[in-house]
Amino acid sequence: MTETQTPSSAPSRLPLVFTVAVVAVVLAFFAIAFVIASTQHVGTDEEQLTAATYMDVVQPLLAIGDAQRGETLVYQTYECYACHIIGSGAVAPSLEGVGERAATRRPPLTAAAYLYESVIYPTAYVVEGYPASMPANYPQRLSQQELADILVYLLEH
Ligand code: HEC
């Protein structure tokens, strides 16, 4: 009796092993897909950029932004001008006229999309002649309203 039971219970583990393997493969697939999707969102792949890139997020921000509040945030609260000063020896490009420059910096990105990318994904595009030293923690530090105010301020400067 015991001899006939052993062979029949041993193969019953196979489906379990098979299931675990399938689950592992599926999880690995999703992990890889997620990594690929998130790098594309950063916009590092030049070929993927269009005039619509980031605009689904940027358009609503432009609608609620206030340039006056943005100026206070840029000058005082977040001290962007600590780096973005005018003149030689500056560690970052001047923000004077940045709204206009933004329109041609990284075509086909719109000016607003480029400015958004500069603050939220600073390493996606690094301005020639400068180090990639723009702080990367603004996505955590800025509220949606603050980001909106800063974008509108930069767009007008
Ligand atoms: C520690 C120094 C530093 C601080 C502080 C800083 N930045 Fe920058 N930023 C840089 C550097 C360096 C670059 C150029 C390299 C690059 O493109 O990442 C840059 C690039 C930019 C650009 C693109 C400019 C262009 O001409 O294309 C924008 C816009 C910008 N920063 C906005 C801001 C804003 C807004 C703040 C404050 C919330 C800020 N930065 C704070 C260093 C800084």
CA 132–ligand 1 middle distance (angstroms)? 9
What is the percent of the chain with per-residue pLDDT over 90, rounded to a whole number? 65
For residue 119, pLDDT beyond 70: yes
pLDDT: is 16 or 99 the higher one? Answer: 99
The answer to whether the beta carbons of residues 81 and 70 sit under 8 Å apart is: no
User: Token pair of 49, please?
Assistant: 């950029």
Q: How far apart are CA 31 and CA 77, in angstroms?
A: 38
In the prediction, which pLDDT does 128 show?
93
**How far away, in angstroms, is 96 Cα from ligand 1 center?**
12
Mean pLDDT of 147-157: 97
| pLDDT for residue 40 is more than 50 | no
User: Which atom from ligand 1 is nearest to the alpha carbon of 94?
Assistant: 26
142 lines ligand 1 (CB under 6 A): no
pLDDT in tens, 78-89: 999 999 987 777
Q: Rounded mean pLDDT of 1-20?
A: 69
CA 46 to centroid of ligand 1, rounded, Å: 20
Exposure b/e, 29-68, CB count within 10 A at least 16 = b: eeeeeeeeeeeeeebeeeeebeeebbbeebeebeeebebe
Distance CA(141)–CA(137), nearest Å, equals 6
